[in-house]
C-alpha cells in the first residue's frame, strides 16, 4: 500500500517542505526556487498594495474572503512561465506540490479557483 509519507513525514504539511526540496530535484522545481529567492516580494507588492488600498476604500466588505496578494501575483507568474489558463492553473496548483510550495500553501489552505485567478 502506498503512503504519502517520506521518512514518516506527511507530504502535504508545511513540515514536509524541507524534506520535499531535498527529495525531488526537477528543473521546474529548481526554477521556482530560484524565482522565489531572487525576487524581493515586499518591494514588488508595495505599489500594488497601495493602488488596491486606494481603490477599495469605498468597497463593501461583503463577498468571499480575498486571497493574499502574494499568492495571486505568484499565480500570474506561474501562468506566464507555464502558459496556463485560469482553469488549468487551478488544477495544477491542486496537483503539483512544487506549485503549492512556491505559492506558500499548505494542505489546509484553500486553493485559488479559476474565477479568483
Blockwise average pLDDT, block size 10, the chain, 117 residues: 47 57 69 92 91 73 78 94 94 90 85 85
Helix (H) or strand (E) segment spanning residue 6: strand 5-6
Strand duo 5-6 + 9-10: pairing? antiparallel
pTM of the entire predicted model = 0.72
Residue 10 counted as domain residue = no
Q: What is the pLDDT of residue 45?
A: 93
Which residues, 6 or more positions from 95, have their beta carbon under 8 angstroms from its beta carbon? none
Count up the domains in the chain and report the number.
Answer: 1
Residue 70 counted as domain residue = yes
Residue 80 counted as domain residue = yes
d(CA 94, CA 101): 11
Residue 20 counted as domain residue = no
Q: What is the pLDDT of residue 1?
A: 41
Residue 13 counted as domain residue = no
Q: Over 72-105, what HEC string results?
A: HHHHHHHHHHHCCCHHHHHHHHHHCHHHHHHHCC
Amino acid at each position: 500500500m502506498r503512503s504519502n509519507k517520506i521518512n514518516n513525514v506527511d507530504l502535504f504539511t508545511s513540515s514536509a517542505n524541507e524534506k520535499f526540496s531535498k527529495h525531488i530535484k526537477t528543473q521546474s522545481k529548481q526554477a521556482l526556487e530560484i524565482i522565489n529567492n531572487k525576487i524581493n516580494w515586499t518591494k514588488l507588492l508595495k505599489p500594488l498594495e497601495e493602488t488596491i488600498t486606494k481603490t477599495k476604500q469605498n468597497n463593501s466588505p461583503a463577498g468571499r474572503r480575498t486571497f493574499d496578494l502574494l499568492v495571486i501575483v505568484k499565480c500570474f507568474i506561474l501562468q506566464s512561465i507555464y502558459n496556463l489558463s485560469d482553469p488549468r492553473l487551478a488544477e495544477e496548483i491542486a496537483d503539483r506540490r512544487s506549485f503549492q510550495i512556491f505559492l506558500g500553501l499548505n494542505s489546509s489552505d484553500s486553493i485559488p479557483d479559476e474565477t479568483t485567478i
